[in-house]
Structure 1
Amino acid sequence: MILETSAAQAVAGEVRRWLDSAVIGLNLCPFAKAVQVKGQVRYAVSDATDEEGVLQDLETELLLLSQTDPDSVDTTLLILPEALPDFYDFNDFEELSERHAKAHATGGRVAGRHLPSLVSVRRDRSGRY
């Protein structure tokens, strides 16, 4: 489940600062700056503790992206503070999440970052998800 608590907002704030200073500041992702500046990044903090819970939240976020105007939300960062703390488990899950996105025909592009756990979902250039 996606959390809306003040603690979740604090976690999202930490990820936002990391995105600004590391990813955008070091120019690690060519897409990040534009969507961040336009306010089109959704920071979703999950309370999931296992793969099943993460997949449910991933599906929710993919559906939300597919139903939301891209000028409003282009990218979702699904933040997993309690799930997949082991790098190898997270790496294996990334492949599973990509297959899951394709199987549900959302067209979402999934990219994982183990920080400890962060999943990014974004639209591709054609407007698909």
Structure 2
Amino acid sequence: GRVWARKFWIAHDCGLIINPLILKQTIEGNVVQGLSRTLFEEVRFDRDSVKSVDWASYPILDMGDAPESIEIVLIDRPEVAPSGAGEPTIRVIPAAVANAFFDATGVRMRRAPLSPEYVKAALSKA
């Protein structure tokens, strides 16, 4: 029931690119953080309180779970003013992972995180 991304491809258009190296590093960080949110991070509650109070109860992606490679395509449009290069890339990660999962299994995942329990339950209903 475990989902992971061994390789990740992403393209980004932010108009005029001023510093391609920093832009790529920013996008890489967003991919890793987005995968963490998509595959691991979940605040848990019970009737009385938040149960995700420390790193043991709020798991995050560690480097062993990060993709082996992150391929980034930068779309440089010098005629367009520079625009967002930070958070825009993180927004597409959950949909990209869920669509890759659907392509591989035929099962739609409709929420994050794609925890092993959630994945097993979704696959058992298919």
Larger Rg: 2
Q: Same fold (TM over 0.5)?
A: no
Kindly indicate which of the two structures has a greater share of residues assigned to strand.
1
Q: Which has the higher contact order (CA 8 A, sep 6+)?
A: 2
